[in-house]
Amino acid sequence: MASLPINAEVLPEPQTAGGKPLMQVMNERKSSRDYQENQTVTKQDLSNMLWAAWGITHDGKRTIATAMNRQELVLYVVTPTEVSRYNPEANTLTVVNTGDFRRLATLQDFAAIAPINIVIAVDTSKQERAEFQGYTAGAASQNIYLYCAQAGLKSVVRAGFDREKLPAALKLPSNERILFVQTVGK
């Protein structure tokens, strides 16, 4: 087995069974903008929602469809203390920068106090067509919304973030592009 990067955190195994009925969860999905300060999201919930957005399911494929199976999505997690990149194959988060970068992940105050902001980016070298990138990001976002609805967490997807400074805070490679940021909290 390949060794993990030194700054990789192994997440709890995602819980891929059970939960509330899907029809009920779809009915409960909504955007929330009233987050309380100093709340946390458990590592189990984080693992589950990242898997819902971009986990591996069948034959190395994903929880969401991607055009021509290009699998172009890249997810980063912005917390009060660091930014990490999600690696679905190893179920790990690799720290790419330390510090509180939530202010750069939003143009709205509520997201700067929320415990989790998931940056939804795409690898443009895998998929160059904007409409396909948008589909992929949107499908992942919806799965985060649905997971949050079933887990009793609040969420909102946002197109508003600091387009100049957030890429640098994430140390974003030149082939990756941020499409949305999704806030999660209580």
Ligand X SMILES: Cc1cc2nc3c(=O)[nH]c(=O)nc-3n(C[C@H](O)[C@H](O)[C@H](O)COP(=O)(O)O)c2cc1C
Rule CB under 6 A: say whether 159 interacts with ligand X.
yes
Rule CB under 6 A: say whether 160 interacts with ligand X.
yes
Q: Which CB atom, from 95 or from 107, has the smaller least distance to ligand X?
A: 107
Q: How far apart are CA 41 and CA 151, in angstroms?
A: 11
Q: Which CB atom, from 46 or from 157, has the smaller least distance to ligand X?
A: 157
Residue 101 near residue 169, CB atoms below 8 Å: yes
Q: What distances in angstroms separate CA 76 from CA 24, 58, 120, 124, one per listed residue?
A: 29, 23, 7, 16
Q: Which CB atom, from 152 or from 160, has the smaller least distance to ligand X?
A: 160
Interacting residue with ligand X among 157, 166, 170, 184 (CB under 6 A): 157
Residues 91-150 that bind ligand X (CB under 6 A): 108
Q: How far apart are CA 131 and CA 185, in angstroms?
A: 29
Task: Select from 25-33, 35-43, 51-59, 120-128 the region that touches ligand X (CB under 6 A).
Answer: 25-33
The amino acid sitting at 170 is: L
Interacting residue with ligand X among 27, 31, 81, 125 (CB under 6 A): 31
Size of the site for ligand X (CB under 6 A): 9
Q: Which CB atom, from 11 or from 78, has the smaller least distance to ligand X?
A: 78
Q: What distances in angstroms separate CA 149 from CA 100, 106, 114, one per listed residue?
A: 26, 22, 16
Q: Which CB atom, from 85 or from 158, has the smaller least distance to ligand X?
A: 158
Joined tokens for residue 135: 């589909």
Please tell me what DSSP assigns to residue 113: S
Q: Which of 74, 36, 50, 33 is nearest to 151 (CA)?
A: 50
Binding site residues, ligand X, CB under 6 A:
30-31, 33, 108, 156-160
